[in-house]
Amino acid sequence: MLKKLVFITLLLGIVSALAIVNLAQLRLQKPLSLSAEGTTYRVTDGASVKRVLADFSANGWIDYPRIHELWLRYNELTVIQRGEYALQPGQTSTDVIRMMVSGKKILRSVQFIEGQTFSEFLQVLADSPDLEHSLTGLDQDAIMQLVAADMSFYEGWFFPDTYLFDAGTSDLDILKLAHQRMVSILAEEWAQKSPTAVVETPYEALILASIIEKETGAAFERPMISGVFSRRLSINMRLQTDPTVIYGAGAAYTGNLTRGHLRTDTPYNTYTRNGLPPTPIANPGREAIFAALNPAAGESLFFVAKGDGSHHFSITFKEHNAAVRRYQRFSRRQDYKSAPATTTDEVQ
């Protein structure tokens, strides 16, 4: 009788155990009970699998979160990554946690364009609804100190590119990344500079690159523009480039560059001062930095916009004046010429 009772007890135990295993398998294999398409879940810094499963249970997506947790721990699926994840119909809790372990998160982006200024970069960040905004209300000097306290001036030190980021990323995080990339790329390009480069320091290369970036929209012309400016610098000829004047004019420039702007002396007026301006005037891309350090050979000292984004290059001032008369009416602004004014070729 005792043996029979023990046997029945063991049998009931086995049946119960099998029932529990079967229940667990059913729960583990059951897709999340999502209420709508496009459901997302955000894993915050330091969140655990237990915390995530508790949220899933609270949302009504799973039952018995402890069963899911034990299964995931047994399979060593516990180290999840911060970010926002897209949950798809048909996914189980294990599917979703595997996704969180691998880091297949939703990524968003901001884009910094070559030739934009630091102020424009800040506006791009401020306009992004997906970033955490930690810089609101801070002036540019204060922001600079947060990014890199050793920077003497912020313009030019942020690499233009498309930056991907996940949930929880701040505007300051993006700025730090863009700054680190510019420092790295400038060092890489400086290490491979041409012997014909006239700039003497990486910072001078950054300044020249920013002018080249603002002067042309045609990528193939960047080394040629660099060649003109490099030759002018080498013979102590003024650069006479409008973008530097515009930058120095600040709020006084409202979209129409006048003779008054060109004659008003500022540290950035390359019509009134020799050499490079004191700082970059924008954030240049890699091609512009390369061009600044690898100027094209030649003899041209002048160029004028042709109206299609490219320029006509001239060796002599006489040739340049003829090109101005030919192309001036098509140029990006009526009086653009990148050369001194004469009685027959005077700015308006």
* 307 or 316, which is more confident: 316
User: Could you tell me the sign of the dihedral formed by the alpha carbons of 47, 51, 56, 62, in that order?
Assistant: positive
Name residues whose C-beta falls within 8 Å of residue 212's C-beta, 6 or more positions apart in sequence. 222, 225, 226, 229, 284, 288, 291, 292
Please report the pLDDT score of residue 1 as a whole number.
60
User: What's the pLDDT band for 341 if we cut at 50, 70, 90?
Assistant: very low
CB atoms < 10 A from the CB of 35, how many? 9
Please report the pLDDT score of residue 126 as a whole number.
96
Range among 29-33, 86-90, 196-200, 300-304 rated most confident: 196-200
Q: What are the beta bridge partners of residue 322? A: none
Over residues 268-280, the pLDDT tens digits come to 999 999 999 999 9
Contact by Cβ (8 Å): 91, 79: no
Q: What is the DSSP string of 80-101?
A: ---EEEE--TT--HHHHHHHHH
Position of tokens 């003024």? 238
Q: Which residues of 182-209 are buried (b: 16+ CB within 10 A; e: fewer)?
A: bbebbeebbeebeeebbbeebbbbbbbb
The pTM is what?
0.80
- Structural domains of the chain sorted by starting position, each given as residue range(s) with its CATH number in brackets: 26-102 (3.30.1490.480), 108-187 (no CATH), 194-330 (no CATH)
pLDDT at 72 over 80: yes
Residue 199 and residue 153: Cα distance in Å, rounded? 19
CB atoms < 10 A from the CB of 342, how many? 10
Residue 330 and residue 305: Cα distance in Å, rounded? 8
* 214 secondary structure, DSSP code: H
The torsion angles phi and psi of 263, rounded to 5 degrees, stand at -95, -10
Residue 286 and residue 259: Cα distance in Å, rounded? 33
Pairing verdict, β 40-43 and 83-86 = antiparallel
User: What's the pLDDT band for 207 if we cut at 50, 70, 90?
Assistant: very high
Residue 102 and residue 81: Cα distance in Å, rounded? 8
Over residues 104-152, the pLDDT tens digits come to 999 999 999 999 999 999 999 999 999 999 999 999 989 999 998 888 8
Degrees, nearest 5: CA angle 230-188-158: 80
pLDDT at 336 over 50: no
Looking at 150-159, 192-201, 331-340, which range is the least confident one? Answer: 331-340
CA distances from 166 to 105, 111, 199, 317 (A): 7, 15, 39, 54
* 132 secondary structure, DSSP code: B
Contact by Cβ (8 Å): 283, 155: yes
